[in-house]
């Protein structure tokens, strides 16, 4: 039985206060965690903050689909937790958290990698960077399948 938890919200993600024990299950022996954080430099520019915009209802559905696919393509079962921030974040803050719990480690790593790569290509989420010099920029990303 798979268990999938998806959250896209302004709620801060605190690496020191995660409910990891609630994700662990007796039929699984591996838990792989991935954190994405706000980096202080991008393409040579000094970043002081990032703002995430999201189409939340669609993002939740798309992340649910990605989580299910991740377990299927890894040929396993388990738990997938995906949490993505919206709103303005400072350097060093967690923007995304992915936890994958599976019976064995190889599948946990594989599924976790699948989730972050697909999230970047498919989740309706956008990133605006704020630079030290006062400028801002929406980052260019991946066109969704509707793009021509």
Partner 1 sequence: MRVQKLKLRVFGVLRNHSDANGMLELELESPVDVETCAELKDELIRHFERNGAGFDPGILRECALADEESVLSPGERLRTLQNLALLPPVCGG
- Strand locations in 27-73 (E): 30-37, 41-42, 45-54
Contact, 66 vs 60, CB < 8 A? no
Residue 45 beta carbon to partner 1: minimum distance, rounded to whole angstroms = 15
- Name the residue nearer to partner 1 (CB basis): 25 or 122: 122
CB of 62 to partner 1, least distance (A): 8
The strand pairing partners of 46, in sequence order, are 41
Residues in the chain: 148
Specify the residue, 52 or 114, whose C-beta has the smaller distance to partner 1. Answer: 52
Looking at the DSSP bridge assignments, the partners of residue 85 are 9
Rounded distance, CA 6 to CA 20, Å? 15
Q: Which chain residues interact with partner 1 by CB under 8 A?
A: 36, 52-55, 57-59, 61, 84, 95-96, 116, 119-128, 138-148
Lookup result for tokens 């021509």: 148
* C-beta of 29 vs 141, nearer to partner 1: 141
Find the shortest distance in angstroms from Cβ 37 to partner 1. Answer: 10
In the complex with partner 1, which residue's Cβ is closer, 43 or 140? 140
d(CA 53, CA 51): 7
CB of 103 to partner 1, least distance (A): 27
């Amino acid at each position: 039985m798979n268990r999938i938890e998806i959250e896209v919200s302004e709620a801060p993600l605190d690496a020191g206060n995660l409910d990891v024990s609630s994700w662990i299950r007796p039929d699984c022996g591996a838990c792989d965690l991935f954190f994405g954080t706000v980096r202080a430099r991008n393409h040579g520019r000094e970043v002081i903050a990032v703002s995430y915009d999201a189409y939340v209802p669609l993002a939740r559905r798309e992340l649910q689909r990605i989580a299910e696919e991740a377990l299927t393509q890894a040929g396993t079962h388990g738990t997938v937790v995906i949490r993505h921030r919206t709103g303005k974040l400072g350097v060093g803050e967690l923007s995304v958290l992915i936890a994958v719990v599976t019976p064995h480690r190889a599948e946990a790593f594989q599924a976790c990698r699948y989730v972050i790569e697909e999230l970047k290509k498919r989740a309706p989420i956008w990133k605006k960077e704020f630079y030290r010099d006062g400028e801002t920029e929406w980052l260019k990303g991946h066109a969704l399948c509707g793009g021509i």
